[in-house]
Structure 1
């Protein structure tokens, strides 16, 4: 779960501003890391101070050799012997190197752990938020683009926090500390040595503006590529069946080349920055070398200080050659953070209520004047009125596009009606928390999803505390035990990703067992036996009649033989209920249901 804030809570009142200033938004968001950030910064400061000291010690050593008992070291330590002065410098040097090594280790550990912690929390917060986003949001975008944000973007941000942020801090500290030394030694040399820095800063800002849209395109390209790869791997059987390997290779190659080109454009622009920095460095170093040397020859600058300034110029300017790389990391991290924050700012429309159902749950359902549709499209359901008493089995049938799946979405509250109410035990489902609503239901989707794991784990997915005996009982009720028992490892047999090691009928039976194991008050079945043969269907129907004796069942089916024993059958056509009744009543009425029955059986039947 998120460390600092609930990912389902309302976001910033101005989400665009967070996306425009992503790193500042992360500072506000993850307050728990501020102390660690300050500690890491402190050790970076100590490390940089110790890192600058060797140049000063070199200058002091040169001063000792040249001036002897008149040296700076002799004045400070009160030691006249040059050998003793150099000995003291050696001791100080050892202490400095120990401090530098220790502070570098601590700073690196702190920065890396900070990056890993934020990476973990941000990924989990984003994933938790994605889980609670509406089903319609997931259906409107590719899973690959979401995966790219949760994986690649989080990694890019972690790389910036791990490498880029410490480098920025070290560079800034380097400029400040070296500037202090130059200010003490010579104001003229300070100005000349620092003259290239404004050029580099202005160049950095220009390149930053140019890089920002380039890296935004890189992120878009990698999202497109991830989406295409994810979709193709999921549909590999279809690709093979239609011998579309060459076509898909060309399509993925096009997406990969687009990603490559987007990266190349960004790299080409970032790389052009390095020559500019080198020219600026050459200017500053040459000024220090010549003017400092002349001042030393004229006797206005000590030899030791001249040595310090020459080394310090290198110390000041050469790290700036890495500004392009740091800028590259910054832009990638900033673009990734912006995408993550935009994802976190996606609103959750269908939010759980706060009311709970009375126990035991009776399982009564009612739809009152329900109108529903998708996005800005026309109504799919048009004024549906339906009453399903607790403990009864009701079926919804109709031709393709009649609105059956839309009705189930409303019952499960994957979406809300445009008008009207869906009631569960007399309570509007919008007022109920998820535990009362979905926790009281067992659901078998038309497109069954299996997780990578054992058969037992898949059956117990909705009730992890179930015993082996309860899992076996549910498998028997779903007519799945026979094929499970025939497997080498039985319930412990491994189910591949998405259940690819199982047939469609086997997956449906396991999904049904998973739903029955929850002992739901309402069992919702969406074409739950469409992938099984007639013999298995008959076995499942017999088991269901026993399993649903104490619960409500809402069944959507195309195959009418699966619902002929329902207490009531509701017939949908073009989003409206055109008739309802028992199987025999509807066949006798010779209406829409009877027509569907004749199409499937070629005759009228009463039982």
Structure 2
């Protein structure tokens, strides 16, 4: 088994490097529709934080004016209330302050609720939109993209990275607003109360700014590495859980535990580097913030205690003002210390948004023309005209930079050694059945995937009733075709849901008819809940043959114009295969059909048989004609019929050379 190099670079590194201003793009592209909720959140946050500052200020007023000798009117900031509204008696002033403090708490609670509603609604809406948009883009990418990325890595983007965005948009923006309001508000009040002492209290702010700048520069690349390592952990876990049956039957639990341990340790080491930097930064930031509190207490306390302005300071400092300074400075310590948390969340979100937008900006090899005409199938005639194909990893760099989408799609020069399919041409009349046979790796499945435009040709063209399949809309092309592959994938759900997948409006009568045609109705009736039986993840509760029959029933129900059968009966026994083949014969009677089969007996009645080897058509004709030719088909037939024991040495040597040349490819036939 080929081991994966888990020390390789971030699999989305190329995409991330192309993304510019990811956070700005996030807010403007996805945040714009939800301006109302974020505006409510921002305004409410400002008002809530401002009201949080009011009790300390009112306490200073009470100490100096009500319990001290200061003039009440001079201590109350006359911004909201006119002086005429202020009570004249000491008792009235006391109750005025008490009611004002109580009102600040009540209104503050209301605005805190609105703040939480606004930011949560904003972040959840964006999280939903980004996740669904990313998934929608991901599923529209070419199959070649999925061949180069592991499922766990893509799950990491859809789950972990999107969640990081939600955390910043909620907690991060909330904390950032609080930080700005508290620092600006407290700074303003401190200067309003005593500009000289305010300089002492706010002295650590420049040092905090420098300290934070250094932290940001060091932490950013570490978070990018953490996001990559999370994807690798997810990939390994998803891979192992999907192959748990192989692991158990191979008795390799210990081996796989070591591999999981390796990727988990890689994540631990990468994450610990970020944590180690973070846990040193936050206490240091809090210590610097605390210096302002200590200086305020020392200078202000000495000023009040002695009644003399220390050093270059002048004037007097009242007890209430000193208490307000202490309270405000203490409130300032936490927001300043939290500044690092905001930067921390921002850096995580930026690293995640780079991966998300890098994926969303991924350009597929298959060009999608949203305005293309729909495919119109009349006879079902299919033509392959000088078709060649190679996987994208084999292209020259110059080919990747072609500016013309049409040139990229229609012509890419590749060497003969790189081609998986090499200059194939054939025609299929409407209603005919054409079979593709040949050794493993000959390119049979790839030929049919090109018809479905799961990949696009490098050279040549494929036409259906004279229409180039690259010039029609993809949905109409794939809607006209029914595909049953080698691996009959079933979704988690019921048998009925899997049969109706793609034909969602079918009624029970049509479903049963399709199941009967696929020889599936009898075994479905014997399931615990019949058609409502849950099949489990990937259909694990059904046998391979049962899954194939459900997949065939799905294709039957779709009633396509063109049917593609890629080893559609490979997992059933001979008796069941004969029954299914009888149904398939009925199904293919009036429609164009492509069939791949290793069991040559299932395709001997095809109108035309193409024999592929090394990506080329080496023989073509009917079953009887190919037997008379005495070529590769004749030898394959003889081996399966038991007439000869093995293929001639020349065929074996050619197969070995072909395997050596294409072992890194993606062809699964």
TM-score (norm 1): 0.94
Secondary structure of 2:572's aligned partner: coil
Q: Does 2:417 correspond to 1:401? A: no
Contact 1:18 1:341 in 2 (8 A): no
User: How far has the Cα of 1:295 moved from its partner?
Assistant: 4.1
* Residues in 2 aligned to 1:485 and 1:450: alpha-carbon distance in whole angstroms: 18
CA offset digits 1:354-387 (Å, max 9, x no partner):
4335655432211000011112430111111110
Give the match for residue 566 of structure 1.
Answer: 606
User: How far has the Cα of 1:317 moved from its partner?
Assistant: 2.1
CA offset digits 1:282-301 (Å, max 9, x no partner):
32122222333344423523
Secondary structure of 2:501's aligned partner: helix
CA offset digits 1:452-481 (Å, max 9, x no partner):
111111011020111111111111111112
Q: Does 2:223 correspond to 1:215? A: yes
Contact 1:60 1:73 in 2 (8 A): no
User: How far has the Cα of 1:397 moved from its partner?
Assistant: 0.7
How does 1:99-178 map onto structure 2 within 5 Å? 99-178=107-186
Contact 1:441 1:523 in 2 (8 A): yes
**Cα distance change of structure 1 residues 249 and 358 upon mapping to structure 2, 3 Å threshold:** closer
* Residues in 1 aligned to 2:244 and 2:330: alpha-carbon distance in whole angstroms: 57
* Residues in 1 aligned to 2:456 and 2:176: alpha-carbon distance in whole angstroms: 49
CA offset digits 1:460-516 (Å, max 9, x no partner):
102011111111111111111221122232211111101111111111111111111
Give the match for residue 350 of structure 2.
Answer: 334
How does 1:95-494 map onto structure 2 within 5 Å? 95-296=103-304, 297-298=307-308, 300-353=316-369, 354-357=371-374, 359=376, 361-377=378-394, 378-494=418-534
Contact 1:60 1:72 in 2 (8 A): no
Secondary structure of 1:43's aligned partner: helix
* Residues in 1 aligned to 2:585 and 2:19: alpha-carbon distance in whole angstroms: 54
* Residues in 2 aligned to 1:600 and 1:277: alpha-carbon distance in whole angstroms: 77
Contact 2:608 2:620 in 1 (8 A): yes
**Cα distance change of structure 1 residues 24 and 555 upon mapping to structure 2, 3 Å threshold:** same
User: How far has the Cα of 1:24 moved from its partner?
Assistant: 1.0
Contact 1:396 1:571 in 2 (8 A): yes
Give the match for residue 25 of structure 2.
Answer: 25
Contact 1:27 1:34 in 2 (8 A): no
* Residues in 2 aligned to 1:564 and 1:17: alpha-carbon distance in whole angstroms: 54
TM-score (norm 2): 0.85
Report the RMSD for the aligned CA atoms in angstroms. Answer: 1.9
Secondary structure of 1:472's aligned partner: helix
User: How far has the Cα of 1:20 moved from its partner?
Assistant: 4.8
* Residues in 2 aligned to 1:15 and 1:147: alpha-carbon distance in whole angstroms: 16
User: How far has the Cα of 1:78 moved from its partner?
Assistant: 4.7
Stretches of structure 1 lacking an aligned partner (at least 5 in a row):
1-13
- Which structure 1 residue ranges, 4+ long, deviate > 4 Å from structure 2? 14-18, 357-360
Give the match for residue 4 of structure 1.
Answer: none
Secondary structure of 1:256's aligned partner: helix
Match of 1:555 among 595, 598, 603: 595
Match of 1:91 among 78, 99, 102: 99
User: How far has the Cα of 1:401 moved from its partner?
Assistant: 1.5
User: How far has the Cα of 1:439 moved from its partner?
Assistant: 0.3
Secondary structure of 1:385's aligned partner: strand
User: How far has the Cα of 1:193 moved from its partner?
Assistant: 1.3
Stretches of structure 2 lacking an aligned partner (at least 5 in a row):
1-13, 77-82, 309-314, 395-417, 645-669
Q: Does 2:627 correspond to 1:587? A: yes
* Residues in 2 aligned to 1:455 and 1:103: alpha-carbon distance in whole angstroms: 52
CA offset digits 1:275-320 (Å, max 9, x no partner):
3223322321222223333444235233322222221111222322
**Cα distance change of structure 1 residues 74 and 372 upon mapping to structure 2, 3 Å threshold:** closer
